[in-house]
Structure 1
Amino acid sequence: MAYILELFQFRVARNNAAASHKGTIKEKIERFASRHALAKYVFAFVGIPVLILAALFICLAVITLPMALLLGWV
């Protein structure tokens, strides 16, 4: 167990030392996109339904709920 902890601490220290030259957030995103070509499809497959559900909830909360309160549906 001590060996695993020591190895983990070494890797964290090495990553922190190497992180200073890795560039801006935009460069990191571009590097990630080039390494993981299919990730954009996964993000779209998961993200678009989440955005649709968020829009649906917002429309429901902004339009339907006040109308229901005014008309006494609730």
Structure 2
Amino acid sequence: MKNRNSADFAGCLVTALLLLWFAAMWILCKSADWIMKGRMKMKNFIVKVEIDGIVTNRLVKAETAEEAERKAKEEEK
């Protein structure tokens, strides 16, 4: 075997571990994106509601416009 300098060996080991860590983080980020694409994201909708005869707008967080309207009607009651 060749006579290795311990500093060179440690430098190579640190470099290899950093590359492995970056690869693992990249895979985790890509898998998180893939998981989130399968789910619908919540959006903010402005829904017109009538409260005590006064028509006003209400901000509702929902996945679809229909769901936002349903939530706004439920909150009125």
TM-score category by the smaller chain? 0.3 to 0.5
Higher strand proportion: 2
- Normalised to the residue count of structure 2, the TM-score between the two structures is 0.41
- Ranked by relative contact order (alpha carbons within 8 Å, sequence separation 6 or more), the top structure is 2
- Normalised to the residue count of structure 1, the TM-score between the two structures is 0.43
Rg: which structure is higher?
2
